[in-house]
Amino acid sequence: MHYVCTNTSQSLGPLKQYQKIAQALRQQIVSGQYATGALLPSENDLCSQFGTTRMTVRQALSELVREGFIDRQQGKGSVVKADRQSLGLLSFRGFSEVVGRSNHSVRNEFLARPSYTEWPASFFHALSDQEREGGCLWLQRLRYVDDNPVMVEHTYIPAPGLTDLLTEGLIDGSLFRTLSIRHRIHILDMEQAIRAVLTTQEQAGIFRCSEQTPLIYIERRYLTNRPDFYVYSQLYCHTEKYAVSSF
Amino acid sequence: MHYVCTNTSQSLGPLKQYQKIAQALRQQIVSGQYATGALLPSENDLCSQFGTTRMTVRQALSELVREGFIDRQQGKGSVVKADRQSLGLLSFRGFSEVVGRSNHSVRNEFLARPSYTEWPASFFHALSDQEREGGCLWLQRLRYVDDNPVMVEHTYIPAPGLTDLLTEGLIDGSLFRTLSIRHRIHILDMEQAIRAVLTTQEQAGIFRCSEQTPLIYIERRYLTNRPDFYVYSQLYCHTEKYAVSSF
DNA sequence: GAGTGGTCTAGACCACCTG
DNA sequence: AGGTGGTCTAGACCACTCG
C-alpha cells in the first residue's frame, strides 16, 4: 500500500524529491493559497520551479491525487478539489438520489467543545504507553444534513503539543483542516470497524427518533504523516433519511 | 522496429501498452497461473517480454497494485496477493482482535442457487433499458465466519451471455472468480450505500438472533472492465459478534 | 554480489482542451 | 495554435533482499 513517509519536517531525514514537491503543494493547498477549483502550476512550470523532470513532478502530483487533494484533467491542468474531509471522510446521500450529485447543506455543531481529559478506562483501540500517559483532547460533534441530525462523532486526539485546540478553536470548524494548517499533520489513511446498534435514550433525543432505532456505529483510527500519531473517532449514524456512502 | 503489432487484434480498441501488459498479468493471476504469494516476473523480464521500457511496465504494475492484485517489495519483487474478493470485498474481525490478524474460517452456502428471473419491479438502483430487458441472474448466499452466520447477500447480474452460471456452477464457489476466468470480467470498483435496519422475522431465523436486532444493510453496484456492465448486490450483516471492516 | 524495485534524468510524440 | 496532461523511450544510480 502506501507507506508512511518517515518524516514530517524536512532536514530530519532524506525526503525524496517528489515528496518535497508534494509536501510543498499540499501545504499551499491546505493553507488556502489555491482555492477549490483553482489550477496548480503546470507540470512544466513545476519542473523549472523545482529543477527536476516531468516524471518526478508527475510522481508528486500522483501522490496528491491519491490523497484526494487534486484531480487531473488532460488538456486543462491539476484542479484543486473541495475540502475532502467535510464530513469526517463520510458522505451521505438521499435515498433515491443519483450517486455523485450532492446538493445537501451540511452543518456541524459541538455537543462538547474540545477539552483535555484522561483516556477512557476502556477504550475501543489499544493505546501505546506514550499515548496513554499524555492524556487526550476530546470533542463531540453533531453533524446535520439539510438540517436533519445524522451523525454524532466523538473524537480523541493525543494531547501533547496540541493545546492550541483548546484555546484557539478550529479553522472553519474543521478539525482536520486545523491539524493540517497549524500542525502540518495530514490524515493519510484510516482503519475502521463497523457495526449496527440500537439507539440509547440519549441518542434518540439527539436524532429525534424513537428508541430501538438502528444506528450505524463506526470505530475509526486515522493514520497521519507523523509516525505513531493517530486520531481516533467513534461515529453514530442515523440512516433513516440519509444513507452513508463512499467510505 | 519494435512498437508495431506485437499483437493481433488491437485494431478493435486502442488499448495502451501499459493496459495490455496489465491485462495480460491480471488474467494470468486470476486464472491461477500465479498462486497467492508467488512472484511475477521482474520488471526487466517484463520489459523484454513486452518489448518496452521499465516506465511502461511500472505503470502496468502500479495499476495492479491499485486494484489489489499484487504488492510490491523492494529487493524482492511483485507478490501476488490473496484472493481479495473472498467475502465480497468485505472483511470481518472479532471485537477485540488486532487489525490485520485474521485466523477465521470462512464458509459460504447458497440460500438460493443462481436462477434466471426478471429484475425486481422496484430495484434499489436505476437500470438502463438494456439491462431491464435482458432480465437477470439472481442468487442468494449466506456467509459464515467461524460457523457463525454473519451475512446474507443477494446478487443480481445482467443475464445476457452468462447462462453458464446456471449450468456450470461457480469456480471455487466464487462468483467474481468465475466471472474473471470464464468471462474476462473483472471487478474494478464499487459504489455503495449503507444503512442500519432491523431484522425481519426471516432474517432473525437465519442469523439465529432475536427480532429487533440491528443489521447493517448495504446496497452495492460493482463496476467492471466492461463498460455499462454492472453487478448489483444487497447485503445484510449481523454484527453482534463480528464487526465489518476495511471497506 | 547479484538481482529486485525505487528514484530520477532528458528527451519525444500524442490526445485533449481552451482561447 | 499553443499549452496541458498522457504515454513512452533509453538510459542512470540507489536501497533493499536474499543466497
pLDDT at res. A83 = 62
> Helix (H, G, I), strand (E, B), or coil: what is residue A110?
strand
In degrees, rounded to 5, the angle at the alpha carbon of residue B76 between the alpha carbons of residues A225 and B92 is 55
Distance from CA of B49 to the nearest CA of A (A): 24
**Is residue A61 over pLDDT 90?**
yes
Model confidence pLDDT, tens digit, residues A11-52: 335 778 999 999 899 888 877 788 888 999 999 999 999 999
Mean pLDDT, rounded, for B112-139: 91
Higher confidence at residue B160 or residue A88? B160
- Closest nucleotide relative to residue B55's CA, C1' based: D8
Strands B187-198 and B148-158: unpaired
Mean pLDDT, rounded, for B60-66: 91
**Residue A246 class from Cβ within 10 Å (0-12 exposed, 13-18 middle, 19+ buried)?**
middle
CA B94 – CA B242 distance, rounded (Å): 5
Q: Gap from A62 CA to D3 C1', in Å? A: 20
Q: Which of A69-73, A76-80, A90-94, A179-183 has the lowest mean pLDDT?
A: A90-94
Q: Gap from A58 CA to D11 C1', in Å? A: 19
Upper half-sphere CA count for residue B79 (Cβ side, 13 Å): 10
pLDDT band for position A246 (50/70/90)?
A: low
Q: Gap from B214 CA to C17 C1', in Å? A: 51
B168-176's contacts with Cβ under 8 Å and 24+ in sequence apart are B173/B108, B174/B83, B174/B85, B174/B86, B175/B139, B176/B85
Model confidence pLDDT, tens digit, residues A147-202: 889 899 999 999 877 778 877 878 777 788 788 888 888 777 777 788 899 999 99
> Helix (H, G, I), strand (E, B), or coil: what is residue B227?
coil
pLDDT band for position B105 (50/70/90)?
A: low
**Considering only CB atoms, which residues of chain B are within 8 Å of chain A?**
55, 71, 93, 98-99, 126, 191-198, 212, 214-216, 219, 237, 239-240, 243-247
Q: Cell 488499448 appears where?
A: B15
Q: Which of A58-72, B82-96, B132-146 has the lowest mean pLDDT?
A: B82-96
Model confidence pLDDT, tens digit, residues A88-142: 334 444 333 332 334 556 678 899 888 999 999 989 998 998 899 989 999 999 9
Higher confidence at residue A202 or residue B179? A202
Residue A39 to residues A20, A77, A94, A165: CA-CA distances in angstroms? Answer: 19, 6, 31, 31
CA A134 – CA A119 distance, rounded (Å): 9
Q: Cell 523484454 appears where?
A: B48
Q: Cell 481479495 appears where?
A: B84
**Residue A239 class from Cβ within 10 Å (0-12 exposed, 13-18 middle, 19+ buried)?**
buried
Cell numbers linked to A23: 509536501
Strand C contact set, beta carbon < 7 A: A 16-18, 51-56, 59, 73-76; B 40, 42-45, 54-55, 58, 72-78
Of A93, A196, A237, the CB nearest to B215: A196
Percent of chain B with pLDDT over 70: 84
Q: Give, as ranges, the nucleotides of chain D with any atom within 7 Å of a protein CB.
A: 2-12, 15-18
In chain A, which residues have their Cβ closer than 8 Å to the Cβ of B214? Answer: 196-198, 214-215
Q: Gap from B24 CA to C12 C1', in Å? A: 27
In chain A, which residues have their Cβ closer than 8 Å to the Cβ of B243? Answer: 193-195, 219
pLDDT at res. A178 = 84
Give the phi and the psi of residue A6 in degrees, each rounded to 5: -75, 0
B110-113's contacts with Cβ under 8 Å and 24+ in sequence apart are B110/B139, B110/B140, B110/B141, B110/B142, B111/B140, B111/B141, B111/B142, B111/B152, B111/B206, B112/B138, B112/B139, B112/B140, B113/B139
Q: Give, as ranges, the nucleotides of chain C with any atom within 7 Å of a protein CB.
A: 2-12, 15-18
pLDDT at res. B52 = 93
pLDDT at res. B184 = 81
In chain B, which residues have their Cβ closer than 8 Å to the Cβ of A212? Answer: 198, 212
CA B88 – CA B108 distance, rounded (Å): 11
In chain B, which residues have their Cβ closer than 8 Å to the Cβ of A195? Answer: 216, 239-240, 243-244
Handedness of CA B127, B129, B131, B134 (dihedral sign): positive
Quick one: DSSP state of residue B41? Answer: P
Handedness of CA B171, B175, B180, B185 (dihedral sign): positive
pTM summary value: 0.72
Partner residues linked to A116 by β-bridges: A137
CB contact under 8 A, A245 and B214: no
pLDDT at res. A236 = 94
DSSP letter for each residue of A60-71: HHHHHHHTTSEE
Mean pLDDT, rounded, for A58-80: 90
- Closest nucleotide relative to residue A41's CA, C1' based: D4
pLDDT at res. A27 = 83
CA A243 – CA A93 distance, rounded (Å): 6
Q: What is the mean pLDDT of chain B?
A: 80
Smallest CA–CA distance from B126 into chain A, residue: A98
| Cβ contacts of A110 within 8 Å, gap of 6 or more | A139, A140, A141, A142
Of B98, B99, B196, the CB nearest to A216: B196
- What residue type is B200 in one-letter code? T
Q: Is the CB of B194 under 7 A from strand D?
A: no
CB contact under 8 A, B216 and A216: yes
Buried b (16+ CB within 10 A) or exposed e, A125-163: bebeeebeeeebbbbbbbbebeebbbbbbbbbbbbeebe
CA A155 – CA A139 distance, rounded (Å): 5
Q: Which of A92-106, A122-136, B1-15, B73-87 has the lowest mean pLDDT?
A: B1-15
CB contact under 8 A, A243 and B126: no
pLDDT at res. A159 = 82
**Is residue B81 over pLDDT 60?**
yes
Q: Gap from A54 CA to C13 C1', in Å? A: 15
Higher confidence at residue B118 or residue B187? B118
Name the protein residue, with chain letter, whose CA is nearest the C1' of D3.
Answer: A75
Q: Which helix (H) or strand (E) holds B164?
A: helix B164-168
**Is residue A218 over pLDDT 50?**
yes
- Closest nucleotide relative to residue B39's CA, C1' based: C4
